[in-house]
Chain A
């Protein structure tokens, strides 16, 4: 988008901003590629029974992701990063757009596969215990897919908005690159103002959908043990899985029912409705959900305050506000991870919800020590890689925009 602005206005500032962010994008993309390769093999190495049984259904979704998205991104990324001067600016812009579209298509398929695992349908179970597809539309557009997809894409935009805003605030704080920093912070403010509330709205819809298909997950998110009418919203609590209760509850009466059923008296099912072995680990889901929502509302607040400051002409001057923006830089990532924690841990103990349990899905020949060493190796490797990646990204940001880059 920034490149589009540059081509349209021919304003050098846009070009410089683009050049800075493209370097950061390159580092992040490199890390994304290598972890993507890993995922396409882990299904087989560690989840072989799962792969064999549901392969007929989700295999094609994964296949399509690679075919429609990965190649598109990888090929045109090369042109986008290294093609300056080798292709016309127009073609370069097209390449950039293609990369953006590729990432969206990729998200489409992977979220579709994941959503199917949450709300499986459109298949039958054969005599051999394997799943056979019966309706592709039902499989791809399964009930939780549209909500999860929108929620995730919006989350990704918000995350980048807050990173960009944070960097803009950082430059303003240090009194460097003022014109470019102003553009960055303004764009981020605009995103936070409009997109963050939309995200809350989508999240609400997503929650209602989960209530319909995975009520146990909702019960865990809300920390509700006994089925309640006019359930209260637990602002804080420490769930106790063993004794089936919460400690230190702070409850706002009626609010959970209001949010989930849109009525003050609505009934919300409690965890005790399910046998103990069918319940997800409550505390993880409960806290992850609160972290995600908390950050969401913090984002809205920052967006509102920044807008007010903008109209008072103080957005680019207020140092406390800039400090807040800098603090919020990693917030999107944290919220994103917390959200995935909610949805993934919330569907336990199943891999495909209600169809295959996690414990049944693993590779039988791969025993403890092998899983342990490979997990450890990946943890060490990812820590190294993401540590180094973050370091180089921060270094790029710190270095800022090079002076006299005449490579237009």
Chain B
């Protein structure tokens, strides 16, 4: 039995890897959920076909990162998996139901017409909206912490529902809508793009408000977070994060009104998400189950983490490689024709 835990900080490495998987999920599925959120507001049926075609080769690959997040959590942090998932039972089940609804809508929509198609359009929209909202709720509830006795969740079925988690839910909906609309600026042209620019500008304002509100609430939730951000000299080291975010907002705002900037808005949005995620990650570290168990305490046994690491080191670059190849294959603007 090989075990690297003698010379590697495996829990930390795995914490970072899972954080990366979830982050990639948020960025990648974020834009296709976002497309779903703004879907019914598009100006025409042709636009909607175009929007759908722009995400259809990617969505199942994107969702696989979520499976990796779940599977990875089970493998690397079984205790966190066993406490957090029952704690967020209801939002997780709702999220899954929403994801099923929108996932099948992709295929079924193309195969139906008239009223049935309108029905699947709504399934796609409300599925995306619900899944995004629930993900935000889970994020908020996670930061607030859960009730734990021993190695089990010991709270009630509605513990996750709080003002803060509702707010993060709404924040994520707007965030994804921004990702979705800037994705569309990149992948479409003519009226669809003009419309996507309007949506992005509108949504951007709400994303800004939401980010400010969440930033105000976070330090109020727990002493640990407040201390981390506002003690000296931490305060000066961390100042670049909010300043960068502000700069990115201003740049993005300008780009939305410059017709020749088709690609940059999407990547600026990705950068804004990175900043937000970084803020969250730093606030939570080193907790795995906030304020009960740290990464090390919740980790799986050394040999299990070692075996997984042996698998991940060659596979992750490979996965990223062919994911990139897939995006490269489907580069350029999407059209409204039936693609297969």
Task: Contact check, B308 vs A381: say whether CB atoms are below 8 A apart.
Answer: no
- In the complex, A55 Cα to B87 Cα: how many Å? 18
Q: A51-B85, A82-B340 are in contact. List 12 more A-B contacts (CB 8 A).
A: A27-B111, A41-B70, A44-B81, A45-B85, A55-B78, A63-B311, A64-B311, A70-B64, A75-B319, A363-B82, A363-B89, A392-B107
Residues of B close to A145: CB separation below 8 A: none
Tell which of B57, B154, B307 touches A81, judged by Cβ atoms closer than 8 Å: B57
In the complex, whether B63 has a CB less than 8 A from a CB of chain A is yes
- In the complex, A36 Cα to B65 Cα: how many Å? 12
Q: Which of B291-340 contact A (CB under 8 A)?
A: 300-301, 303-304, 307-308, 311-312, 315-316, 319, 322-323, 325-326, 329-330, 339-340
In the complex, whether A237 has a CB less than 8 A from a CB of chain B is no
CB distance from B299 to the nearest CB of A (A): 10
Q: Which of B15-69 contact A (CB under 8 A)?
A: 56-58, 60-61, 63-64, 66-68
In the complex, whether B200 has a CB less than 8 A from a CB of chain A is no
Residues of A close to B161: CB separation below 8 A: none
In the complex, whether B71 has a CB less than 8 A from a CB of chain A is yes
Task: Contact check, A365 vs B329: say whether CB atoms are below 8 A apart.
Answer: no
- In the complex, A363 Cα to B60 Cα: how many Å? 29
Chain B positions within 8 Å of A, measured between CB atoms, are 1, 56-58, 60-61, 63-64, 66-68, 70-76, 78-79, 81-87, 89-90, 92-93, 96-97, 99-101, 103-104, 106-108, 111-112, 151-155, 157, 300-301, 303-304, 307-308, 311-312, 315-316, 319, 322-323, 325-326, 329-330, 339-340
Residues of A close to B300: CB separation below 8 A: 55-56, 59
Tell which of B63, B68, B96, B307 touches A33, judged by Cβ atoms closer than 8 Å: B63
Residues of A close to B308: CB separation below 8 A: 59-60, 63-64
- In the complex, A26 Cα to B81 Cα: how many Å? 32
Chain A positions within 8 Å of B, measured between CB atoms, are 22-23, 26-27, 29-31, 33-38, 40-41, 43-46, 48-49, 51-52, 55-57, 59-60, 62-68, 70-72, 74-79, 81-84, 86-87, 132-136, 363-367, 370, 374, 377-378, 381-382, 385, 388-389, 392, 395-396
Interface of A is mostly: helix
Task: Contact check, B57 vs A66: say whether CB atoms are below 8 A apart.
Answer: no
Task: Contact check, A45 vs B97: say whether CB atoms are below 8 A apart.
Answer: no
Task: Give 3 nearest A-B pairs by CB, closest first.
Answer: A55-B78, A44-B85, A59-B75
Known contacts A133-B1, A135-B1; decide if A67 and B153 are in contact (CB<8 Å).
no
Residues of A close to B319: CB separation below 8 A: 67, 71, 75
- In the complex, A370 Cα to B86 Cα: how many Å? 10
- In the complex, A51 Cα to B298 Cα: how many Å? 13
Known contacts A364-B152, A366-B89; decide if A381 and B100 are in contact (CB<8 Å).
yes
Of all chain B residues, the one with the shortest Cβ separation from A33 is B60
Of all chain B residues, the one with the shortest Cβ separation from A375 is B93
Task: Contact check, A392 vs B111: say whether CB atoms are below 8 A apart.
Answer: yes
Task: Contact check, B307 vs A84: say whether CB atoms are below 8 A apart.
Answer: no
Pairs A–B under 8 Å by Cβ, sample size 10:
A33-B103, A44-B86, A52-B79, A59-B308, A60-B308, A76-B322, A363-B152, A374-B89, A377-B97, A388-B108
Residues of A close to B75: CB separation below 8 A: 55, 59-60, 62-63
Known contacts A22-B340, A82-B57; decide if A56 and B71 are in contact (CB<8 Å).
no
Task: Contact check, A52 vs B78: say whether CB atoms are below 8 A apart.
Answer: yes
Tell which of A37, A82, A378 touches B330, judged by Cβ atoms closer than 8 Å: A82
CB distance from A26 to the nearest CB of B (A): 6
Of all chain B residues, the one with the shortest Cβ separation from A131 is B301
Task: Contact check, B81 vs A48: say whether CB atoms are below 8 A apart.
Answer: yes
CB distance from A397 to the nearest CB of B (A): 12
Known contacts A33-B60, A67-B315, A78-B61; decide if A56 and B304 are in contact (CB<8 Å).
yes
Tell which of B67, B325, B329 touches A40, judged by Cβ atoms closer than 8 Å: B67
Residues of B close to A70: CB separation below 8 A: 64, 67-68
Of all chain A residues, the one with the shortest Cβ separation from B103 is A34
Task: Contact check, B311 vs A74: say whether CB atoms are below 8 A apart.
Answer: no
Residues of B close to A370: CB separation below 8 A: 89-90, 157
Residues of A close to B307: CB separation below 8 A: 60, 133, 136
Residues of A close to B316: CB separation below 8 A: 67
CB distance from B17 to the nearest CB of A (A): 10
- In the complex, A48 Cα to B330 Cα: how many Å? 40
Residues of B close to A29: CB separation below 8 A: 60
CB distance from A1 to the nearest CB of B (A): 19
Known contacts A23-B340, A30-B103, A396-B111; decide if A48 and B153 are in contact (CB<8 Å).
yes
Task: Contact check, A44 vs B60: say whether CB atoms are below 8 A apart.
Answer: no
Task: Contact check, A71 vs B89: say whether CB atoms are below 8 A apart.
Answer: no
Task: Contact check, A67 vs B312: say whether CB atoms are below 8 A apart.
Answer: yes
- In the complex, A66 Cα to B86 Cα: how many Å? 22
- In the complex, A27 Cα to B120 Cα: how many Å? 14
Task: Contact check, B61 vs A45: say whether CB atoms are below 8 A apart.
Answer: no
Residues of A close to B304: CB separation below 8 A: 55-57, 59-60, 133
Known contacts A366-B86, A392-B112; decide if A59 and B93 are in contact (CB<8 Å).
no
Of all chain B residues, the one with the shortest Cβ separation from A395 is B111
- In the complex, A41 Cα to B61 Cα: how many Å? 17
CB distance from B336 to the nearest CB of A (A): 14
Task: Contact check, A40 vs B85: say whether CB atoms are below 8 A apart.
Answer: no
- In the complex, A87 Cα to B330 Cα: how many Å? 10
Of all chain B residues, the one with the shortest Cβ separation from A50 is B82
- In the complex, A41 Cα to B81 Cα: how many Å? 9
Residues of A close to B72: CB separation below 8 A: 63, 66
